[in-house]
Amino acid sequence: MKAINAITLILLAAAVIFTLIFLFSPGALGISERGTAYEKYFDSEAVTTVNITISADEWNDILENPLAEEYHTADIEINGDFYSGVGIRTKGMTSLTSVASSDSDRYSFRIQADEYVSGQSFAGLNEFVLNNNYQDPTYMKEFLSYELMEELDVPTPLHAYAAVYINGEYRGLYLMVEAVEEDFALRSFGADYGELYKPETMNMGGGDRAEGGMPDFGGEFSMPEGFSGTMPNRGGQTGGEFSMPEGFGGTMPNRGGQTGGEFSMPEGFGGTMPNRGGHTGEEFSMPEGFGGVMADFGGFGGFSSGGGADLVYTDDSIESYSQIFDNAVLDGVKDADKKRVIASLKSLADSENLETDVDVDEVLRYFAANTALVNLDSYVGSFKHNYYLYEEDGKISILPWDFNLAFGTFQSGDAEGVVNFPIDTPVSEGTALADRPLIGALLEVSAYKEQYHEYLRYIAEEFFGPSFSSRVAGIDALIGEYVKTDPTAFSSYAEYQEGLAALNTYAELRAESIIGQLNGTIPSTHEGQKNSTALINANALNMHSLGPMGGGGFGGR
């Protein structure tokens, strides 16, 4: 009897343990499903089908009021899986306003599963975005950038091409990207994930925490550090004084050849641009309607200085880092969480405890990729944005986001400067490396610099190596027909084909320059490259074919 009772107790205990394991296991809580099930929608070797069904009134309201970025209700079918009552709205910053001011209505979208139906998800995913491939005739800049990040094991949002249909009608080929929110954190870091922030210097109104937001045009419009004036409504008013900050001077000719004073701006914009001392700076390609020579930016550091987006330590006050903490992605961020971030920034400033307070290897991998891609619409550029800051257990790292202006296409038509972008001062020219301490502080440590160089060598020899053109050809085989028939494309199919050739040329020349810089035959800093005769000749690279900022048109076919 005692033996039987003992066996019974053992069995009961085992049953209780099994039950507890089942009840509290990640799978039982839905974590396994939420972390993996929706990956079926992000097959990088297939084109996902997204069919959005929306009433005529809701759709027309989106098209008539794109800058409102307001959610509308719709049904959506993803590869045959049907979801009812989801939220859809426009998204973006300059891309949104640029499209809104053009003849195009090819907007990017943010799709949220539970905006109207509580608890609904896309096989475990709450939200994704549909990027419109703005300023990318190749359709591949962002896709390939994410692939490089993945190859270097940087936590990267899932992404796949998507053929988007509106009420059954083909709308165009988009890039579908997992939102960097709770589901991303769970998938990437497990159930005990840390905190996510999206530092932003361009918070100028609007309601999109993740995009920074843009104000309605019309009425008073102010921007920090010298930007101020009255911006006209889009309804046909074309005037209004507008003053620019110090450092933006120079000769500003219009497209008619006038060499100073009046500056022609796109539809709905107006004002005069004074000549401040005759410094003409470097050639600057601006969107359709812009023209002229733009002066060097001088000390101008983006739309807003201070606030922490540069990750420069100033003091221990939480209020000093509003650009970080006002853009917390996850709910429930506490002061203790914020103080851990500040402690990490202080370690960067002091060059102490770096291994304890910074995920050094991850950060070096991210910046090796970002440098190879010459992605300046990012942390290393003037605007210090388009990245996520992740903190877990007091250790910070950086996560990728938004690469439509990678491959050297942010504010640049200078092919030689792009190809030879210096690997050891991998920040915008005129920006001090110390002003971007997340990479600057690490490059001061010889062991970290060597590690960073090894990642760059791998990228140059492997990712940009012989297999790169094969990968471009493989993606072309996947998406080419969708591009050819894209009814809302920003560029023509011929321009798409030219863009692919330019991608291959970029990879070949950029790899050659990186190897030369690593081997010491090419200067690896901005200062060292001035007047250098050792730079790689980039005459074969047509930057326009890659879609530089403002270089592309609208309309397609």
Neighbours of 255 (CB within 10 A): 10
Q: DSSP character for 543?
A: G
Q: Which residues 6+ apart lie within 8 Å of 94 measured at CB?
A: 214
pLDDT in tens, 316-361: 999 999 999 999 999 999 999 999 999 999 999 999 999 999 999 9
| pLDDT value of position 548 | 80
Residues of the chain predicted below pLDDT 70: 1-35, 203-305, 412, 550-557
| pLDDT value of position 183 | 97
Q: What backbone torsions phi and psi does residue 53 show, to the nearest 5 degrees?
A: -110, 125
Helices (H) and strands (E) in the chain, counts: 16, 15
| pLDDT value of position 305 | 58
Tokens for 184, please give them.
Answer: 């991303």
pLDDT in tens, 154-198: 999 999 999 999 999 999 999 999 999 999 999 999 999 999 999
Give the whole-angstrom CA distance, residue 105 versus residue 89: 13
Q: Which residue has the tokens 């000390």?
A: 299
| 381 close to 410: Cβ distance less than 8 angstroms | yes
Tokens for 113, please give them.
Answer: 């599963």
Q: Which residues 6+ apart lie within 8 Å of 471 measured at CB?
A: 144, 147
Q: What backbone torsions phi and psi does residue 468 show, to the nearest 5 degrees?
A: -65, -50
What is the sign, positive or negative, of the torsion defined by CA atoms of 543, 549, 551, 557? positive
| 62 close to 90: Cβ distance less than 8 angstroms | yes
What is the sign, positive or negative, of the torsion defined by CA atoms of 47, 48, 49, 55? negative
| pLDDT value of position 550 | 59
Give the whole-angstrom CA distance, residue 111 versus residue 90: 9
| pLDDT value of position 196 | 98
Q: Which residue has the tokens 């010889």?
A: 446
DSSP labels for 492-531?
A: -HHHHHHHHHHHHHHHHHHHHHHHHHHHTSS--SHHHHTT
pLDDT in tens, 431-442: 999 999 999 999
Give the whole-angstrom CA distance, residue 117 versus residue 101: 33
pLDDT in tens, 25-71: 333 333 334 447 999 999 999 999 999 999 999 999 999 999 999 99
Q: What backbone torsions phi and psi does residue 384 show, to the nearest 5 degrees?
A: 50, 50
Predicted structure pTM score: 0.79
